[in-house]
Amino acid sequence: MVTELGHFALILALLVAIFQTIVPLVGAQKGWVNWMAVAVPAATLQFLLVAAAFGALTYAFVTSDFSLRLVTLNSHSLKPMLYKVSGVWGNHEGSILLWVLIVTLFGAMAAWFGGGLPPRLKARVLAVQSAIGVAFLAFILFTSNPFLRLARPPFDGQDLNPLLQDPGLAFHPPFLYLGYVGLSMAFSFAVAALIEGRVDAAWGRWVRPWTLAAWVFLTIGIGLGSWWAYYELGWGGFWFWDPVENASFMPWLFAAALLHSAIVVEKRESLKSWTILLAIMAFGFSLIGTFIVRSGVITSVHAFASDPERGVFILLILAVFTGGALTLFAARANSLEAKGVFGMVSRESALVLNNILLAVSSIVVFVGTIWPLVAEAFFDRKLSVGAPFFEAAFTPFMVVLALVMPLGAMLPWKRAKLARPMKQLAPALALAIAVGALVWAMQTGKSALGPIGMFLGTWMVAGALVDLFNRTGRGAIGARLARLTRLPRADWGKLLAHGGLGITFMGISGLMAWSVEDIRVAQVGDTYEVAGYQITLEDVRQDRGPNYVTTMADMLVMRDGKQVTRLHPEKRVYPVQAMPTTEAAIANGFWRDIYLVIGDPQADGGWAVRTFIKPFANWIWAGCLIMALGGLVSLSDRRYRVAAGAAKSTAQGVPAE
């Protein structure tokens, strides 16, 4: 019953979405106020209907209603409640429903909080957003219906892939989708502005929070995914350059570029058409990501549904939206007159460089991701493009970005001289060189990766601090420190985002340069040494969890005669899917992680054990979190709210047309 109601709500949502796409758009064209105004209740209704459908599906998962095909395929009555709920989006149909839920949520939020938008722009934004809803609702109903029943329900389900039964991964998809779909708002604003033929500072101010929010969610989502890979896959890798990972990384890079170019639109009314193009591209790459994940054209470790029909449908959506928007862009971009005038050396130029580096690096990732497909289709070659390619082709962009970021961030608008910020940044540079040199001297190998990474990371963090302190103006140190607390939140957000990136850089290079690994057979009671730690395999026992059986080791880690930690790595087998997983035991530390994995019993009665010492591992995700926090702090800047209020009062002053 609940299921049928959910199904029905979803169909109604599609009808509402079609209505919301057409009526406000016509209203905006003709200037009919009430036709434009219906967009707001329609957006709310659409959201409520999709939420009802999503609620119905969640209910089916929670109550283990195995008459539903989807629940049977992806759930099991013994599964812990958390994973029953996360099972809703741990599969193709449910995750695409979550996707649409977020599309409609963002649409509704634009309706609720967009009071200050000019009514015409608002109607168009909501109509475009709703068009995206139409496409994906149709996609669900026609190719991926989650509400299909089974004629003969089985007694129990087939369980969720055990690798996905993990708290890190339970929340990874919702964050990613919030990010992907958040970019749909920037897209809707861009298309609405193109229809309108007008982009101004206010537009930049409207787009920026949405993009920022999307970027924050993407950052958290990608960070969670990478953290999960690190502890779950059992060998401590954190990024694989897998097509699906790239699918989330490309929109992240574009969102970062868009975020910065929208600043130029907002503050200087320049880079307008470029910003519009970026907004289209950012969402376009979100759609490409969806296509890559869902169509299965590019094999990947975590592609879930390989179905050509779905692939074609998404390709069609991609073609209509991106192609349509780009055509509109080609026709209208010239009408977006640039206003700002600025010198070759200026904040504007620095942001142009930022955009070039981010956009080109993202396209490098894109080409690398689809190259196996292109090579097979056009050159008859079956080949692979793996991590070494991306490391070689992508990393240089990030090195240059890291080098110029602190300098560019401090240049004044309009016209600048390099000498001034360079002088202010001299201490940061000196510190970074010192750290790099120290690291070079201390490390045992002669790899350049560690020292260069530490140099760049320190340079970015110290540069961001100098930048913030520089904002306090002149005067005595005390007075300047006091002024720090009164700086706009956006300045603090910038510090956190730029500094966080530096910390992530240090984490990645430290982990990649100095990771120590040991593989051996240990008998129970054996002690062995890895990188100065004495590790004892004290016991191995077997146990059972709610829906798995486990082999758990008890291992003692000592250093210089003192106990560092006691760890319990596990190897689990989930009987329903007959699949083993490793549960590495990790002692997280500020400078290093101790990472233990227990393997298979050996013929001589010992156990295979793998030990890793992973320096700076946590810095990677700490940096991601700090970046995301920076985005949130910027988002809370009162200038957005003040601006929103100001725009509202002027909008009311203009007589209705």
The residue (of 55 and 580) whose beta carbon lies closer to another protein is 580
Minimum distance between the CB of residue 450 and another protein, rounded to whole angstroms? 17
Structure tokens at 589: 């530390």
The residue (of 44 and 349) whose beta carbon lies closer to another protein is 349
The residue (of 211 and 582) whose beta carbon lies closer to another protein is 582
Structural contact between residues 322 and 287, judged by C-beta atoms closer than 8 angstroms: yes
Minimum distance between the CB of residue 359 and another protein, rounded to whole angstroms? 7
Minimum distance between the CB of residue 599 and another protein, rounded to whole angstroms? 5
The residue (of 58 and 270) whose beta carbon lies closer to another protein is 270
Cα 435 to Cα 503: distance, rounded to the nearest angstrom: 14
Beta-sheet strands, E only, within 60-120: none
Going by C-alpha positions, the residue among 579, 576, 529, 525 that lies closest to residue 555 is 525
Signed CA dihedral, 164, 166, 169, 175: sign only: positive
The residue (of 197 and 396) whose beta carbon lies closer to another protein is 396
The residue (of 326 and 375) whose beta carbon lies closer to another protein is 375
Minimum distance between the CB of residue 408 and another protein, rounded to whole angstroms? 13
- Give the residues lining the site for another protein (CB under 8 A): 233-235, 237, 240, 242-243, 270, 299-301, 303, 338, 340-344, 348-349, 352-353, 356, 359-361, 363-364, 367-368, 371, 375, 378-379, 381-389, 392-394, 396-397, 519-521, 542, 549, 551, 571, 573, 575, 578, 580-582, 597, 599-602, 608, 610
First to last CA, the chain: 48
The residue (of 46 and 355) whose beta carbon lies closer to another protein is 355
Q: Dump the DSSP string for 226-250.
A: HHHHHHHSSS-------HHHHHHHH
Dihedral angle over CA of 113, 115, 120, 122, nearest 10: 0
The residue (of 149 and 381) whose beta carbon lies closer to another protein is 381
Centre a 10 Å sphere on the Cβ of residue 148 and count the other Cβ atoms it contains: 12
Residue 526 vs residues 204, 357, 493, 521, 541: alpha-carbon distances, Å: 64, 52, 50, 9, 16
Minimum distance between the CB of residue 25 and another protein, rounded to whole angstroms? 31
Cα 321 to Cα 211: distance, rounded to the nearest angstrom: 18
Structure tokens at 628: 């995301």
Cα 11 to Cα 437: distance, rounded to the nearest angstrom: 64
Minimum distance between the CB of residue 415 and another protein, rounded to whole angstroms? 8
The tally of CA atoms less than 13 A away on the side-chain side of residue 125 is: 29
Strand partners, 607: 522, 601
Going by C-alpha positions, the residue among 459, 345, 453, 358 that lies closest to residue 401 is 358
Q: What is the CA radius of gyration of the chain?
A: 27
Cα 422 to Cα 411: distance, rounded to the nearest angstrom: 10
Q: Where are the alpha helices (DSSP H) in 243-346?
A: 243-268, 272-295, 308-318, 324-332
Minimum distance between the CB of residue 540 and another protein, rounded to whole angstroms? 12
Strand partners, 421: none
- The single-letter DSSP state of residue 536 is E
Minimum distance between the CB of residue 349 and another protein, rounded to whole angstroms? 5
The residue (of 294 and 610) whose beta carbon lies closer to another protein is 610
The residue (of 44 and 517) whose beta carbon lies closer to another protein is 517
Going by C-alpha positions, the residue among 14, 305, 367, 339 that lies closest to residue 161 is 305
Question: Backbone phi, then psi, for 477, in 5-degree steps?
Answer: -55, -45
The residue (of 163 and 194) whose beta carbon lies closer to another protein is 163
User: In terms of C-beta density within 10 A (0-12 exposed, 13-18 middle, 19 or more buried), how is residue 458 classed?
Assistant: buried
Cα 637 to Cα 625: distance, rounded to the nearest angstrom: 19
Structural contact between residues 409 and 460, judged by C-beta atoms closer than 8 angstroms: no
Minimum distance between the CB of residue 51 and another protein, rounded to whole angstroms? 35
SS (H, E, C) 359-416: HHHHHHHHHHHHHHHHHHHHCCCCCCCCHHHHHHHHHHHHHHHHHHHHHHHHCCCCCC
Minimum distance between the CB of residue 307 and another protein, rounded to whole angstroms? 16
Minimum distance between the CB of residue 413 and another protein, rounded to whole angstroms? 12
The tally of CA atoms less than 13 A away on the side-chain side of residue 461 is: 20
The residue (of 126 and 262) whose beta carbon lies closer to another protein is 262
The residue (of 382 and 562) whose beta carbon lies closer to another protein is 382
Residue type, 205: R
The residue (of 210 and 240) whose beta carbon lies closer to another protein is 240
Minimum distance between the CB of residue 247 and another protein, rounded to whole angstroms? 13
Minimum distance between the CB of residue 358 and another protein, rounded to whole angstroms? 11
The tally of CA atoms less than 13 A away on the side-chain side of residue 270 is: 15
Minimum distance between the CB of residue 259 and another protein, rounded to whole angstroms? 18
Minimum distance between the CB of residue 381 and another protein, rounded to whole angstroms? 7
The residue (of 205 and 610) whose beta carbon lies closer to another protein is 610
Strand partners, 572: 550, 581
